[in-house]
Amino acid sequence: MFPIVAAQELAKDIKRLTLFAPRIARRHQPGQFVIVRVHEHGERIPLTIADSDRESGHITIIVQTAGKTTALLNMLEPGDCLLDVVGPLGKPSEIERYGNAVVIGGGVGTAIAYPTARALHAADNHVTAIVGARTRDLLILESEMRAATDELLVMTDDGSYGEKGFVTDALRRLMAERRLDYVLAIGPVPMMKAVAEVTRPQAIHTFVSLNAIMVDGTGMCGGCRVSVNEGSQFACVDGPEFDAHRVDFDVLSRRNRQYRSLEAESMAAFHADPTPDLELMRAAGQLTREIGPHPARMRSVAR
């Protein structure tokens, strides 16, 4: 089992969990992820490693409530344990000395972008980070991104913090001011698609990290199949990062929505009574304290 050693609420329905997973921490590279299973009857979900510490053996994941499993994860606290954490999986980000690099994080995608931004900066790139959120209350990792990059631009849809607008507005401005050699965009599918269309005319090397439906993380199930350059690839073993100009984002969106009704049913049942899941964890020794339903933490923001 994998104990939770720290937990912090970053924003509404978003939580940072630090796990003791020394083997994963020793091997992790930016861009890689883990497959998490909370208890023996739980589903397997992919979560990108937001940080790791080889000396302490800790890895950090950031979880946004979007369904039953993420709602359950966000109820957990230090001392609780996860049954399975498998990884690191996926190909690491390609860290080179590109020159002027832009790393874009939309919503919780900022957590995925952060380790790559830090690695690019360590590789002597000039790194500009653009982070976006619907509103100030949903902005995460601002101070971490600021410390890891040369320049940070903050965009909010409603203008409650930073500059009002979208991450693509800031990207267009940067493209007008300077030559860009590398762009990485991570966030909602529409945002990544928009970034790809902005950089396409100038043929800027642009990459995206695809959060596809995934079960095993090793290429066996085929659930994470994505259309790249008019062919099929697997996000778990061929990615998760791909050339943004070759990804069919419309196919990705359709595949990500195919189980929406089942996800809603599962979430509704969990809202009504989380006790069965909690009792499974308690019986396995993963949960030793009393825990209530905490409705405020269980609101679904399923996309």
Res 294 pLDDT > 80: no
| 54's tokens | 């080889």
**Out of 31-45, 79-93, 286-300, least confident range:** 286-300
pLDDT (average), residues 75-83: 92
Residue 292's pLDDT is 58
- Side chain identity at 232, as an amino acid letter? S
Res 66 pLDDT > 90: no
Percent of the chain with pLDDT over 90: 64
> Could you tell me which residues come within 8 angstroms of residue 78 by beta carbon, excluding any fewer than 6 positions away?
4, 5, 6, 7
Q: Return the sign of the alpha-carbon dihedral for residues 25, 68, 236, 141.
A: negative
- Residue 215 vs residue 27, higher pLDDT: 27
Q: If pLDDT is split at 50, 70 and 90, which confidence band does 27 have?
A: very high
- Residue 128 vs residue 226, higher pLDDT: 128
Q: If pLDDT is split at 50, 70 and 90, which confidence band does 291 have?
A: low
Taking only the tens place, the pLDDT of each residue in 152-172 is 999 999 999 999 999 999 999
pLDDT (average), residues 20-27: 96
Domains, the chain, with CATH or none: 2-89+259-294 (2.40.30.10), 100-256 (3.40.50.80)
Res 298 pLDDT > 70: no
Annotated binding-site residues for FAD read 62-64
Output DSSP code: residue 93: P
Res 214 pLDDT > 80: no
Residue 293's pLDDT is 52
Res 121 pLDDT > 80: yes
Annotated binding-site residues for [2Fe-2S] cluster read 221, 224, 236
Average pLDDT, the chain: 89
Res 269 pLDDT > 50: yes
As a whole number of angstroms, the longest Cα–Cα distance in the chain is 59
What number of other Cβ atoms are within 10 A of residue 107's Cβ?
22
Output DSSP code: residue 91: P
Residue 283's pLDDT is 84
**What strands lie across the sheet with 151-156, from one edge to the other?**
163-164, 151-156, 126-133, 100-106, 182-186, 206-209, 241-243
Phi, psi of 119 (to 5 degrees): -70, -40
pLDDT (average), residues 138-156: 95
Res 303 pLDDT > 70: no
Res 296 pLDDT > 60: no
Output DSSP code: residue 88: E
Residue 230's pLDDT is 77
Q: How many angstroms separate the Cα of 18 from the Cα of each of 166, 244, 291?
A: 30, 31, 19
Are 134 and 150 spatial neighbours (Cβ–Cβ below 8 Å)?
no
Residue 238's pLDDT is 83
**Out of 125-129, 170-174, 194-198, 233-237, least confident range:** 233-237
Annotated binding-site residues read 62-64, 221, 224, 236
